[in-house]
Amino acid sequence: MKKPIRLNAFTMNTVGHQSPGLWTHPRDRSAEYRTIGYWTELARLLERGLFDGVFIADVLGIYDVFGGTADAALRHAIQVPANDPLLLVPAMAAVTEHLGFGVTFSLTYEHPYPFARRMSTLDHLTGGRVGWNIVTGYLDSAARNLGLPKQMAHDERYDLAEEYLEVLYKLWECSWEDDAVLRDKATGRFTDPAKVHPIQHRGRDFTVPGIHLSEPSPQRTPVLYQAGSSARGRIFAGRHAECVFMSAPSIGILKRAVDDVRAAACECGRESAPPLVYAQALVITGATNAEAHAKYEEYRRHIDLEAALALLSGWTGVDFSRFDLGATVEYIDNDAGRSALASFSKADPSRKWTVREAAEFIGLGGRGPVLVGGPEAISDQLEQWMDETGIDGFNLAFAVAPETFEDVVKWVVPELQRRGRYRTTYPRGTLREKLFAGSSRLPSSHPGRSVRIDPLPLEPGRL
């Protein structure tokens, strides 16, 4: 029996997100991102469609590489203005019962101690339905606005991330014992101090002597997502990620990336609990093939090449305003997002992308494939990508919001269910239980479960 297809919705607390220029479409409502109603309506829609979750991207900075200024990003709403992704979760959780929430947070610019509490709070409020997309950032503008001359070197950011995760695991997994909270009104004892432990972390980048401020949440550690596709990023994902998000323009490129990250997980001793892999895609569908292709052509008329190049410049760290549209995209090693440029240059030597072709490609849905057709044609394509690459599901971007997701729920989900490739009901439990049909806790093979602290009692001056 072939494995079921999983779906996430890929979005951002901003205008347009991955389809630069499409906010100008008359039916697009992404400019309503500032309102709670926009997000609660989306959450209800995705739960009706039995999506695993909503995966909310974020950047802490602005795309100012194109032309050396932020003008193009501001003019075309290239992920600016952008609001905080974490603050959306309680409102969406309040109107749903099962939908998961993968939120992006860059660990490079905030201390792990307050972040640990923020994620524990969300895990409590959602009943254990939250996950964290671990990113290290890729924009120099973010570093400058936080008092640094530029961002850390690419691999150094992952070195920082290793210690950051060690601190979080100690806080989430080790600081409070399972039965530390008593809630005993008769004796007036809420917590047993002997079962709450300072983590006593002293490392290269962080010193955290005290206890976690939150009692254990349903999952303790949120489900861990990761999207790095560079060589260093794959090593990190193989060690830590429970779900991996990938973007690739072809089946061949995607399959190699999937094989690499699964091999990295095996090398880290995680053969029994390999990460789920979601591939980015944009689905444009309708009642018939003709209707879907007409919609596709309609959407294409709203692509803005300058906007797309501003987005691509931010992703890659390469100023594409300096190149003719007919120039060939070449790989340039830098400290921005390496996988974005590699997917258009060195990942497939048989394909030479021009600057125009790369801009037109990412103009609809970003760096993943654009799948166009009626329900049967789309289901055929989704099955092909699944079965030939070994992925577990798709992170679906949108062209027009929320129309793209509405069409998938209306047309594609029923066809996949008819084929036996999509669930008809949600399993119960936390997000981790829904995804892996196991415990709400990290599996025993995960490095987060092997972290240890000295269980010292609380003493004055040691918190």
| Residue 361 pLDDT > 70 | yes
Position 280 scores a pLDDT of 96
Token pair of 127 as six digits: 């009943």
Residue 154: what pLDDT? 80
Examine the pLDDT at 347 and tell me if it is beyond 60: no
Instruction: Give the model's confidence band at 358: pLDDT under 50 very low, under 70 low, under 90 confident, else very high.
Output: confident
**Quick one: average pLDDT of 338-352?**
57
User: Where residue 353 falls among pLDDT bands split at 50, 70, 90?
Assistant: confident
Q: What is the CA radius of gyration of the chain?
A: 22
Q: How confident is the model at residue 93 (pLDDT cuts 50, 70, 90)?
A: very high
The continuous run of DSSP H or E covering 55 comes out as strand 53-57
Q: Regarding predicted confidence, which is higher, 366 or 12?
A: 12
More confident site: 109 or 388: 388
Tell me the per-residue pLDDT of 271-329, one tens digit each, with 9 for 90 and over: 888 899 999 999 999 999 999 999 999 999 999 999 999 999 988 889 999 999 888 88
Of 19-23, 205-209, 229-233, where does mean pLDDT reach its minimum?
229-233
Give the three-class secondary structure for 160.
Answer: helix
| pLDDT value at residue 455 | 66
Question: What is the per-residue DSSP string for 238-251?
Answer: HHH-SEEEE--SSH
State residue 459's pLDDT score.
56
Q: Is the pLDDT of residue 335 over 70?
A: no
pLDDT at 75 over 70: yes
* H or E segment and range at residue 243: strand 243-246
Q: Which amino acid is at 199?
A: I
The answer, yes or no, to whether residue 357 has pLDDT greater than 80, is: yes
- What is the reported pLDDT for 88? 98
Question: Per DSSP, what are the bridge partners of residue 8?
Answer: 53, 395
Residue pair 101/53 in contact (Cβ under 8 Å)? The answer is yes
Average pLDDT over residues 335-348: 51
Quickly count: other Cβ atoms within 10 Å of residue 324's Cβ.
Answer: 9
Taking the domains of the chain in order of start, what are their residue ranges? 6-295+368-449
Q: What is the mean pLDDT of the chain?
A: 91
User: Is the pLDDT confidence value at 14 over 80?
Assistant: yes
Round to whole Å and give the CA distance between 79 and 93. Answer: 24
- 3-state SS of the chain: helix, strand, coil percent to 5? 40, 15, 45
Does the pLDDT at position 337 exceed 50? no
pLDDT of the residue at 313: 92
Checking if the pLDDT of 36 tops 70, the result is yes
Architecture of domain 6-295+368-449: Alpha-Beta Barrel (3.20)
Nearest one of 118, 206, 124, 104 to 165, comparing CA atoms: 206
Q: Residue 272: its pLDDT value, please?
A: 81
| Alpha-carbon gap, residue 265 to 112, rounded angstroms | 24
Q: State residue 332's pLDDT score.
A: 52
Q: How many CB atoms lie within 10 A of CB 436?
A: 17
Q: Is residue 234 within 8 Å of 207, Cβ to Cβ? A: no
pLDDT score of 336:
46
pLDDT at site 194? 96
Phi/psi for 460 (5° steps) reads -55, 140
CA nearest neighbour of 246 among 232, 267, 225? 225
Reduced to 3 states (helix: H, G, I; strand: E, B; else coil), residue 133 is strand
pLDDT tops 50 at residue 262 = yes
Lowest mean pLDDT among 97-106, 272-281, 419-428: 272-281
Rounded distance between C-alpha atoms, residue 286 and residue 442, angstroms? 40
Percentage of the chain exceeding pLDDT 90: 74
- Residue range 426-434: mean pLDDT, rounded: 97
List, for residues 173-226, the tens digit of each pLDDT value. Answer: 999 999 999 999 999 999 999 999 999 999 999 999 999 999 999 999 999 999
Calculate mean pLDDT across residues 45-59. 97
Task: Determine phi and psi for 111, rounding to 5 degrees.
Answer: -60, 145
pLDDT at 45: 98
Please tell me the distance from the alpha carbon of residue 460 to that of residue 170, in angstroms, as a whole number: 20
